Amino acid sequence: MTGADPIAQARAEIVRHGRSLFERGLATGSSGNLSILLDDGSMLLTPTDASLGGLEPDRIAHVTAEGAHVSGDLPSKEAFLHRAIYAARPHARGVVHLHATHSAAVSCMDGLDASDCLPPLTAYQVMKIGRLPLIPYHPPGDRSLAGRIAAIAVDHPAVLLANHGPIVAGASLRQAMNAIEELEESAKLFLLLRGVPTRPLDAGQIADLETRFGRANDR
């Protein structure tokens, strides 16, 4: 609608996507957080200790580019992770962090390849996620994690936090949503196929997908 307030629209979008994640069991309790980066560099973010299923537009936190709280409830304690990813990925406008069951389960497994902890099982996994690095365990709210994420997010739109869950960036919140849902389904497939002979995509098939559709990191 012409003349609509972009902040109000973004708040409504966060509420809508948060409810969708909660109703489909991808977020439980008060876990998970979503954000949108606005054109002026400020950020809208889900509040601390808020259920994604019960968000209210006016209570979505609004913080300046410098991190000052402008309006709404206080932002998630993991706001600094979102900031680090936006700084590392200038084209990102949406970030989603979840504790979704299957990807969180993978994050707890021993012996993963930290440079890419999911085999390339499907074309859409390659197209939307690409390589999935694993970041070593940090306690929730540990700000030293920001530097680790920023260094990796430059080349990866999605990362997996050990014993925690995934965090994914996109050119829009909708794109980040689509990618993190693909990641969760890929993790589910990986767990279902444990102990079963599998046939991941090979280097040639991955290269062909990247030629046809571009690399996940470029989105």
Respond yes or no: is residue 78 known to be catalytic.
yes
Catalytic residue, from 13, 78, 181, 184: name it: 78
Whether 38 and 64 have beta carbons less than 8 Å apart is answered as no
Rounded to 5°, the CA angle 50-22-56 comes to 45
Chain centre distance of CA 153: 11
Cβ contacts of residue 181 below 8 Å, gap of 6+? 26
Is residue 151 within a helix (H) or strand (E), and if so which, with residue range? helix 144-153
Q: Which long-range contacts (CB under 8 A, 24 or more apart) does 188-191 make?
A: 188/102, 189/121, 189/122, 190/102, 190/106, 190/118, 190/119, 190/121, 191/102, 191/105, 191/106
* Nearest by Cα to 184 from 165, 157, 161: 165
Whether 130 and 182 have beta carbons less than 8 Å apart is answered as no
Catalytic residue, from 23, 86, 124, 184: name it: 124
Which residues are marked as active site?
Answer: 78, 124
